[in-house]
Every structure is written in structure tokens, then in C-alpha cells.
Amino acid sequence: MATDLRDELLYADSIEARFQILEKYILMKSTFSISSNRAVQSALVSLQKVDQRESIATIVDRVNLSAKHFVHPDDGD
């Protein structure tokens, strides 16, 4: 799998294509369900807005989570 990823990245024709390949790989490997976490859903919508991007700090404040729990929402401490 790592060799396949390396080859895909090596032969990608643009930086954007490389990021799309990495995104696909990370989502494929992810065990975290993005759709089950409303804070993450809201943050993704904000990050995808090209015309009015928000900083990560602003998004974390808006969804009312600490930075630690935003990054690791399933930590139960």
C-alpha cells in the first residue's frame, strides 16, 4: 500500500492532485467516522468555503470544544 501511495504521489500531475490522493488515502485508513461528529462536520463545511475561510482557532471556538477534544473527540477524560 505504501508503495502504491508513493507511486501515485510521484506520478500526480499537480500539487492539487497530490493532496487529493493523500486525502483519499487518509480517509481510507481512518477509523473515525466524520459523519457522526457534528463539530467536525461543521468545521469541514467552514474549511471548504473558498470565499470566507475561518481559522482553525475560530472554528474550534465556534463549535465550543477545546482544541484537544476537537482533534480527539472520543477521548473520555
Structural domain of 10: 1-30
- With cut-offs at 50, 70 and 90, classify the pLDDT of residue 1: low
Question: What are the cell numbers at 46?
Answer: 467552514
Is 12 within a domain?
A: yes
Q: How confident is the model over 30-76, as pLDDT tens digits?
A: 765 555 677 777 777 777 776 777 777 787 787 776 666 666 655 55
> How many whole angstroms separate alpha carbon 64 and alpha carbon 10?
40
Q: Alpha-carbon dihedral of residues 60, 62, 66, 68, nearest 10 degrees?
A: -20
pLDDT at residue 41, rounded to an integer: 77
As separate numbers, helices (DSSP H) first and strands (DSSP E) second, the chain gives 5, 0
Q: Are residues 60 and 43 in the same domain?
A: yes
3: in domain: yes
Do 38 and 53 share a domain, yes or no?
A: yes
CB atoms within 10 A of CB 59: 20
Is residue 60 domain-shared with residue 45, that is, in the same domain? Answer: yes
Residue 8 near residue 23, CB atoms below 8 Å:
no
Length of the chain: 77
Inside any domain, residue 39: yes
Domain count, the chain: 2
The mean pLDDT of 7-28, rounded to a whole number, is 90
Is pTM beyond 0.85? Reply is no
